[in-house]
Structure 1
Amino acid sequence: MIRVVVVDDHPLVRGGLRAVIDAADDLEVVGEAASGEEALVTVPDVGPRVVLMDVSMPGLGGIEATRRLTALGTDAAIVMLTTFPDAATVRAALGAGAIGYLLKDADPVVVLSGIRSAAAGHAPIDPRAAKTLLPGAAGAAGAADVAAARAAPAAATSADPPRGREADVLRLIARGLPNKLIASELGISERTVKAHVGSLFRRIGVSDRTSAALWARDHDMTRDG
């Protein structure tokens, strides 16, 4: 069972997240906090595997709370769950120690998947937030490199880089497109896209879309052609 703490200053948001999480067979909410200050007490006290952390809260905000929890040596994987996908906020959150960054308008299934991914040591980041880490949006590699290091099990050293359809899929992942839109863009089925994504991840040595997008940036594969 994956133990989760929900940190948000809005009771309705905390209640909604609790209902969604507790409905899953493998997840349970073991604590809630209405502020960053409360999170500093609750998280060490209950020892969750994952913390869903709001960014904007009165008093101690989520980014500073994340920084302090990280400094305390928490074992919890902290995932920001917020309405803000701007570059500065994403970089600040990852730089503070967050392992993931999800948006509040995401489908509940995406949030649950993100919790499981974080618990497994991966870096669940919404594609809209990931785009801010790419060329023309972020400009600073430091926090992006932190995210990539957490997400990728090993550095990509393949002597056989993606070509053809895999290269096309990689470029569209780098633009933040989900599989459905990639399929539409390339005129292929979503199942075929999934197969290309799996093969692509194995080829370049990454485990999620954010790491693939960052790999594309670092290897100058974000442009068409």
Structure 2
Amino acid sequence: MPPIRVLLADDHPVVRRGLAALLGTLDDFEVVAEAEDGEAAVRECQLTRPDVVLMDVRMPGIDGVEATRRIRKAVPDAAVLMLTMYDEDATVFTAMQAGARGYLLKGAEQDEIADAIRAVVRGQAIFGAAIASRMLEHFASPPGQAAADDPFPELTAREKEILELLAHGRRTAEIASALHLSPKTVSNNLTAIFAKLEVTDRTAAVIRARERGLGG
């Protein structure tokens, strides 16, 4: 069997060198390219057509989640495996929605990383043990359990209105029109909402909102 061709995407050179050295000790892997940000990851993936992309979540420019989304459209045969230090549920769900096939935390043992790469090449979905446990708990919870009379007490009344419309799939311009606001005002409120909910983008905010009963 030919070696599994791997692209390493991480903004820290030391991490990339460490991963390259780790995979270099194994006969069934070949590192074909490296990328220091999301845009470079998409570009190198199109050029080298790897079997697997080991992708960090937070990088300069477009982040790993958006890079994953673009790679899945441009090079659908490439499997993306997130390897990051961030284990927030919203980030995990957003990455999987973008098309990632697995999610591991940095610090995973060599055998775990190697086995995960082989697994995603076979089409399996792979998660680190702690993340897998939390995901099982999430999907085992009764629908709407997280909802309460006021599921987001940290938000202002206006922010709750905007989040409700966001959860219904409305775009920024549509929210602005519905609430008689400017798109800039809506964007500013969305930034505040993301910060208060500790999510990175609107997709993660929608997931959080629907978990708590909005947008139904």
- Identify whether the pair has TM-score above 0.5, normalized to the shorter chain: yes
Q: Which residue of 1 aligns with 2:16?
A: 14
Structure 2: how far apart are the matches of 1:12 and 1:139?
Answer: 40
Structure 2: how far apart are the matches of 1:50 and 1:9?
Answer: 18
Structure 1: how far apart are the matches of 2:114 and 2:28?
Answer: 10
- TM superposition shift of 1:135: 3.0
1:87·1:138 contact (CA, 8 Å) conserved in 2? no
Structure 1: how far apart are the matches of 2:72 and 2:119?
Answer: 19
Structure 2: how far apart are the matches of 1:135 and 1:117?
Answer: 23
1:37-116 counterparts in 2 under 5 A?
A: 37-116=39-118
Structure 1 pair 136–74 and aligned structure 2 pair: CA distance change class (3 A): closer
Structure 1 gap segments, 5+ residues each:
142-225
Q: Which residue of 2 aligns with 1:5?
A: 7
TM-score by length of 2: 0.62
2:45·2:75 contact (CA, 8 Å) conserved in 1? no
Structure 1 pair 17–140 and aligned structure 2 pair: CA distance change class (3 A): farther
Structure 1: how far apart are the matches of 2:19 and 2:30?
Answer: 10
Q: Deviations over 1:77-114 (max 9, x none)?
A: 10000011121011000000000111101111110111
Q: Deviations over 1:34-55 (max 9, x none)?
A: 0001011100100100110000
Q: Which residue of 1 aligns with 2:146?
A: none
Runs of 4+ with >4 A deviation: 136-141
2:46·2:75 contact (CA, 8 Å) conserved in 1? no
Structure 2: how far apart are the matches of 1:58 and 1:134?
Answer: 32
TM-score by length of 1: 0.59
Structure 2 gap segments, 5+ residues each:
144-216
Structure 2: how far apart are the matches of 1:100 and 1:140?
Answer: 25
1:197-216 counterparts in 2 under 5 A?
A: none
Q: Deviations over 1:184-204 (max 9, x none)?
A: xxxxxxxxxxxxxxxxxxxxx
